[in-house]
Amino acid sequence: MEYKNILFTVEEGVAIITFNRPKALNAMNSETMRELKDAVTVCKDDDSVKAIILTGAGDKAFIAGADISEMQNLEPQDALKFMELGHDTLRLLETLPKPSIAAINGFALGGGTEISMACDMRFASENARFGQPEILLGLIPGWGGTQRLPRLIGMGRAKEIVLGGGQLDAQRAYEVGLVNKIYPADRLMEETKKFAKKLAGMPVFTMKMAKHSINFGYDLSLDNAIRLEVECCAQCFSTKDQKEGMAAFLEKRKANFTGR
Ligand code: DAK
């Protein structure tokens, strides 16, 4: 697929997807969401991609939300389609067997916060701002904000943000657990790439099992979740990487993982 609204590059096993509509602060329209879905599918299918970074073009925004000019006159059936396209894409990203990091370089409002929450981790610049301001537009979040936000930061804080429509700066987002790390804006990409490359060097199948256990265990009862973990962990013993990792430790050398 040819992309108009995103940039897609791969560097040393790390795919970088850059939302590229800086004049509209990278607002997310349906065309961009279709491109994101395609890019995430490419990341899933391409074995040379081991980790993914999502970021925004320009120095003001990651994504300033779903595109309000496109949404304004949507009929309910079309709104449903736009919402389902978003959910399909974000669930694909979230459950990908490969790790993802949102590098949030400015505004991440509404759909921007929601897209960042479908990534495994969020690294923010000091000027990043988060929020779910949909209520101010007569809406509620439509791409998982009412569900992923309480899971990440707790119900009380999520309600404060969704019902109040306010914004959080990077420091507050860090304090409530929405953000993993904060960097000065000019170091954000460099530090995010460094960490993504480290993740890209991890044993591939083990990474898949770790994400699978966390993603699919989270909403199970503790007994079932632990059972899932046991099964995922046991499967790791079928890999050469488990043998290699443990041999390398005992031989006091660096492991050479092959993804097998
Ligand atoms: N949509 C469309 N255009 C946007 C935009 C957005 N979300 N955010 C900014 N822009 C555009 C502005 O209109 C402006 O365009 P021009 O006037 O230059 O043509 C340009 O970006 C620069 O923005 P500003 O001039 O406003 O820049 P400032 O620095 O003054 O302000 C701001 C930055 C981020 C505080 C402000 O732009 C702002 O408040 N933006 C809107 C933020 C927002 O409300 N975001 C949440 C959108 S609602 C659903 C699916 C998803 C969702 C809901 C339902 N279904 C399918 C049903 C999710 C909803 C949302 O995300």
Same domain, 196 and 219: no
pLDDT in tens, 25-73: 999 999 999 999 999 999 999 999 999 999 999 999 999 999 999 999 9
The alpha carbon of 165 and the centre of ligand 1 are apart by a number of angstroms equal to 14
Annotated active-site residue in 35, 94, 134, 160: 134
Q: Residues 90-101: what's their mean pLDDT?
A: 98
The alpha carbon of 52 and the centre of ligand 1 are apart by a number of angstroms equal to 25
| 135 token code pair | 């209520």
Report the predicted TM-score, pTM, of the whole model to 2 decimal places: 0.97
- Give the C-alpha separation, 130 to 149, whole Å: 11
> Given ligand 1 and candidates 28, 68, 149, which is best to mutate, with the most ligand atoms within 8 Å of its CB?
68
Angle, helix 155-164 to helix 145-153, in steps of 10 degrees:
140
Q: What b/e sequence results for 93-117 when a residue is b if at least 16 CB atoms lie within 10 Å of its CB, and e otherwise?
A: bbebebbbbbbbbbbbbbbbbbbbb
Residue 256, domain member (yes or no): no
Same domain, 29 and 110: yes
Banded pLDDT at 112 (limits 50, 70, 90): very high
The alpha carbon of 68 and the centre of ligand 1 are apart by a number of angstroms equal to 6
> Given ligand 1 and candidates 25, 75, 139, 167, which is best to mutate, with the most ligand atoms within 8 Å of its CB?
25
Residue 11 phi, psi (nearest 5): -125, 115
Residue 92, domain member (yes or no): yes
Pocket of ligand 1 (CB under 6 A): 24-25, 27, 64-69, 79, 82-83, 86, 107, 109-111, 133-134, 137, 139, 141-143
Residue 29 pLDDT = 97
Same domain, 135 and 237: no
Q: Are 58 and 189 in contact (CB under 8 A)?
A: no
Same domain, 106 and 136: yes
- Give the C-alpha separation, 243 to 245, whole Å: 6
- Of ligand 1's listed atoms, the one at least distance from the Cα of 85 is 56
Q: Are 161 and 149 in contact (CB under 8 A)?
A: yes
The alpha carbon of 244 and the centre of ligand 1 are apart by a number of angstroms equal to 50
Same domain, 74 and 123: yes
Residue span of the structural domain in which 97 resides: 6-200
Residue 11, domain member (yes or no): yes
Residue 230 pLDDT = 98
Q: Are 117 and 143 in contact (CB under 8 A)?
A: no
Same domain, 166 and 118: yes
Annotated active-site residue in 11, 12, 31, 114: 114
| 69 token code pair | 């000019």
Q: 222: domain CATH number?
A: 1.10.12
Same domain, 86 and 137: yes
| 114 is annotated as an active-site residue | yes
- What's the length of the chain? 260
Q: Which amino acid is at 152?
A: L
Same domain, 120 and 196: yes
Residue 38, domain member (yes or no): yes
Residue 1, domain member (yes or no): no
Q: Residues 137-142: what's their mean pLDDT?
A: 96
The alpha carbon of 109 and the centre of ligand 1 are apart by a number of angstroms equal to 8
| 252 token code pair | 């006091």
Q: 142: domain CATH number?
A: 3.90.226.10
Same domain, 239 and 176: no
Banded pLDDT at 118 (limits 50, 70, 90): very high
